[in-house]
Chain A
Amino acid sequence: MLQTISILLENKPGAMMRVTGVLAARGYNIETLTVAKTLDPDLSRMTITVDVEDRLRTQVIKQMNKLVNVLQASDLTDTPAVIREMILVRVRCPQETRTSVLKEAEVFHSRIVYSSVEGFAIEATGDPEKLDEFIDVMRTYGEIEVSRSGSVGMSLETRKLRLQPPVQAAIPSGPVPAI
């Protein structure tokens, strides 16, 4: 079963690699990954979906939490959370099917973002499984191209963010020899 992990991390070079490294080192393939900065530009929010063996799930989250650049890693899989994805679909359709494509797009609450004689480019957002269905439906109209954003998740629980307060730098007392 796919696991959705939400990670709050510092927006620094290499920080993302540390998180994905925890998974790669154990041979797990990342199914989707999204990352962007948060309201605080020094921080990023990352959502990963990955299939981790049951007995190792807690360990993987703990290893992520151990990373110096990670403020909080949490498993959204079995907790109240919203998980959404965006897709762009380019569908080629001849004149006779254009109306039905538009109708289907409407059923899925998607938007036409580009239209030409060859067909449409459609933007849809929603639950990833719902989007799978949308893709299946569009396929019946002919050749399509799809670009998916990957899941973006948000916990619906208020989680206490435990941060390490600043500490005094351990600078020895006494005179420091001049250079």
Chain B
Amino acid sequence: MQATDNHPHIRRAETGKLMTGAEMLLECLTREGVECFFGYPGGVTIPFYDALYSHHIRHVLVRHEENAVFAAQGWARATGKVGVCCATSGPGATNLLTGLVDALMDSIPLVAITGQVHSKLIGSDAFQEADTFGITRPATKHNFMVKSVAELPQIMHEAFFLAASGRPGPVLVDIPKDVFQARGHYTPVDTIHLPGYKIFTEGHAGQIRRAAQLVLEAERPMVYAGGGIVLGNASAELTEFTELADAPAVCTLMGLGALSAQHPNYISMPGMHGSYAANMAMTECDLLIALGTRFDDRVTGSLSTFARNARVIHVDIDPAEVGKNRNPDIPIVGDVKRVLGKMIKIIHELKAEMKPEALEQKTEVRKKWWKQVRSWKEERPYDRGHSETEIRPQHLMDSIDKLSGGQAIVCSDVGQHQMWAAQLIGFNEPRLWINSGGLGSMGFGVPSAMGAQMARPDKLVFAICGDGGFQMSIPELATIVSQSLPVKIIVMNNGVLGMVRQWQTLFYNNRLSSVVLEAFPDAEKLASAYGFAGKTIEKPWELEAALREAINYPGPYLLNVKVTPDENVYPMVPAGGAIFDMVFAPEAPVAVPA
């Protein structure tokens, strides 16, 4: 019998198959259903990669560890399964950081495996040593340092359980070299006991009933759906609920596709770059039904004026999110799928009890609300305007929208193009829109598209980047080629860091400090250097044919689209302002000095 440091209460009998730690890790990954993971080997992980050499699990060798996390995220976001990535000790582990925080902010299920120096060397400033356990503590949902091979299986299964359950998130397991090499007995883990890990899934029955009542009573209800719907696979419930509640709905940046863009109740994205209709409806509603969302500052703007006339129902699986930014009238801590399921049932019951005339009266009141919302929609729709001489960014996104038909996976980088894509490209299902929402990590687009394409070989996958973010991801072109991934990379090239430029223009007196990106490489030559096709276009009449060519090309494609350099994203709510105080595009675009 042997006790372990992390699990003193677990005494594992020394039965089961004798194997090395590296083999044990692979056994755990297999049992967790991992088909593929992304990584970069190094000194201390050689024993693991050696075991992997003769194993069926597919390993994708990326060109930078940061992209291993982003690719694993792309995989996780496209499938809902736990994404896995691996890096060596020291610099390998520190390179994972951005992606881990990114996954933490967007609640993406991820298991990151890092090598660590030999146990005996820990704390001695050994070659490639870093305090990974300490550094990644605030960057993960939870992290582990494995002290002996005996505790490895338990920790690995706990890591997967933690990553995927409750509010999902990244979990890191740090494994010293000698643990990979040590031999131990592997016995399958059948139970996971984490007494302090509290998951609340059911929701308070009384609160759910009260919420259902409010939904029926409301005159101007509004559904505010977030990434939690996508993570919780609750799209069907959301759709049914929205129809039953006869309420308009917005999906946040993280929730795009949770309700189909084609659905008649769908308005658009709300918030800083949300539509006029979405923000006005959020402001004027009398009941805000927030589902799997966290009242992010980019959605609410000034909290004191946000949904100022509304009572709020807030459903979230994380108790720390409920009441964090807005005190709800009805807080419900639970899994949004289950809570919505229950609420739908109660609404049906309550409706059945209502008198026909009362129901009819309700419908009349709602008709007025719907009329108002529709008129906002018509009053100021998103700008999709084309120009005859230049390709406007809006034209580009509009064309991608039409060609995709709400079916393609779109992995976006971070910046202006991300906002235009979120505004103008429709998604008929969840898990088609993949972007770095909370952290806003540039360099996310290309590697996440890699992961998404690996997970969904059947799908058309776009990586939409700005010329800034794309240049952070160029090394991964080699991975895309070596893995034969037919990702369509669309660079919206305006020659500047557009979003920073937009703020400088609007709030910093147009002093364009360090935003002009000169010397963008020739896309055709760059792509051909990696062995695939690329093209640069700049005239509006070339756009559709070029996009079709990219889509039909049998392999990856790099399309560099030179767009109007001085376009800004509108509407815009200045940071901290009230969301009904939107800034709209000026008549003539603000000129940008060359």
Contacts and interface: CB of A to CB of B under 8 A. Distances in A.
Interface in B143-192: 143, 145, 157, 160-162, 164, 188-192
B121 to A, nearest CB: 17
A164 interface: yes
Contacts of B133: 14
B196 A166 contact: no
Interface of A: 9-10, 12-14, 17-18, 21, 25, 41-42, 58-59, 62-63, 65-72, 162-164, 166-172, 176-177, 179
Contacts of B197: 68, 164
Interface stretch (B266-274, B284-292, B304-312, B319-327): B319-327
Contacts of A10: 195-196
Interface string B125-150: 00000000110011001110100000
B6 A179 contact: no
Interface stretch (B27-35, B36-44, B105-113): B27-35
Interface string B475-509: 00000000000000000000000000000000000
Interface of B: 5-6, 8-9, 19, 23, 26-27, 30-33, 51, 55-56, 133-134, 137-138, 141-143, 145, 157, 160-162, 164, 188-199, 318-320, 323-324
Given A12-B6, A166-B191, 19 more contacts: A13-B6, A14-B134, A14-B143, A25-B138, A68-B142, A68-B194, A70-B196, A162-B198, A164-B198, A168-B190, A169-B189, A169-B192, A171-B31, A171-B190, A172-B31, A172-B32, A172-B33, A179-B19, A179-B55
Nearest to A70: B196
20 contacts: A13-B5, A14-B137, A17-B137, A21-B138, A41-B8, A42-B8, A62-B324, A66-B320, A68-B197, A72-B196, A164-B199, A166-B191, A167-B193, A169-B189, A170-B160, A170-B161, A171-B32, A171-B189, A172-B33, A176-B27
A67 B23 CA distance: 30
Contacts of B138: 21, 25
Contacts of B9: 42
A170 B55 CA distance: 22
B6 A59 contact: no
Contacts of A169: 157, 161, 188-192
Cβ-closest 5 pairs across A and B: A62-B320, A166-B193, A71-B196, A163-B195, A166-B191
A58 B323 contact: yes
Nearest to A60: B320
Contacts of B31: 171-172, 176
A4 B143 CA distance: 27
A13 B194 contact: no
Contacts of B6: 12-13
A46 B235 CA distance: 42
A42 B6 CA distance: 10
Given A58-B323, A59-B324, A166 B192 contact: yes
A179 B319 contact: no
Contacts of A68: 141-142, 162, 194, 196-197
Contacts of A170: 32, 157, 160-161, 164
A13 B7 CA distance: 11
B56 A177 contact: yes
A166 B137 CA distance: 24
A168 B320 CA distance: 26
Contacts of A17: 134, 137
Nearest to A73: B196
Nearest to B193: A166
A169 B199 CA distance: 15
A91 B189 CA distance: 59
